């Protein structure tokens, strides 16, 4: 059985990020390459933050998902260069983050608007949040605290 690379990408798009399960590993932009090397499916995965504990879980989740689809000969390589950037988040990924209550990264260095009420009246609580990729902000209109996906 030969599975097309396009099919594999589709399957990968169903593998959720372990920390932010509304987006997939493809939305996150960390799967950089999928190709067949003879009988072996080879994937290149780029870590988000150097010390992110989710990185290992992600590799395991990807392998499990592909095995569930009947693939067994899988090689997952970690590729650190070029380094991951939030520019690699897909448009649909950004939309899903916002819907989930996490403000997507913005080049301005802070969230554009409150993911709850849309207000631009915001203040930073802390440069770091519940995971390495997030900072902690608050809306000064609806007063809800929220996570902001840091721009990297």
Residue 150 binds other proteins, judged by CB under 8 A: yes
Give the separation between CA 98 and CA 148, rounded to whole angstroms: 9
Stretch that binds other proteins, among 18-26, 42-50, 57-65, 97-105 (CB under 8 A): 42-50
- Residue 92 binding other proteins, by CB under 8 A: no
By CB under 8 A, tell whether 125 contacts other proteins.
yes
Residue 52 CB neighbour total at 10 angstroms = 17
Q: Is 130 in the site for other proteins (CB under 8 A)?
A: yes
For residues 126 and 70, what is the distance between their CA atoms, to the nearest angstrom?
A: 44
When asked if residue 145 is in the footprint of other proteins (CB under 8 A), the reply is no
DSSP 142: T
Angstrom distance (rounded) from CA 144 to CA 51? 29
Nearer to other proteins, 1 or 80 (CB): 80
Tokens standing for 19?
């920390």
Site mask for other proteins (CB under 8 A), range 50-79, x = bound? xxxx--------------------------
| Shortest reach from residue 113's CB to other proteins, in Å | 22
Query: Is there a contact between 73 and 41 (Cβ–Cβ < 8 Å)?
Result: yes
- Find the binder of other proteins among 32, 113, 136, 138 (CB under 8 A): 136
Q: Which residues are bridge partners to 145 per DSSP?
A: 138
Q: How far apart are CA 23 and CA 88, in angstroms?
A: 13
C-beta of 11 vs 49, nearer to other proteins: 49
Note the residues at the interface with other proteins (CB under 8 A): 47, 49-53, 80-85, 125-130, 132, 136, 150, 152
């Amino acid at each position: 059985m030969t599975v097309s690379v396009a099919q594999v990408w589709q399957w990968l798009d169903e593998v959720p990020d372990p920390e932010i399960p509304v987006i997939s590993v493809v939305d996150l932009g960390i799967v950089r390459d999928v190709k067949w090397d003879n009988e072996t499916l080879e994937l290149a995965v780029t870590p988000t933050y150097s010390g992110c504990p989710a990185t290992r879980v992600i590799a395991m989740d990807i392998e499990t998902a592909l095995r569930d689809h009947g693939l067994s000969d899988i090689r997952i390589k970690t590729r650190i260069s070029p380094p991951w950037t939030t520019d690699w988040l897909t448009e649909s990924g950004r939309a899903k983050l916002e819907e989930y209550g996490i403000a997507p990264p913005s080049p301005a260095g802070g969230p554009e608007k409150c993911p709850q009420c849309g207000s631009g009246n915001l203040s930073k609580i802390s440069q770091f949040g519940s995971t390495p990729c997030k900072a902690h902000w608050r809306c000064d209109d609806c007063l809800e605290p929220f996570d902001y996906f840091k721009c990297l």
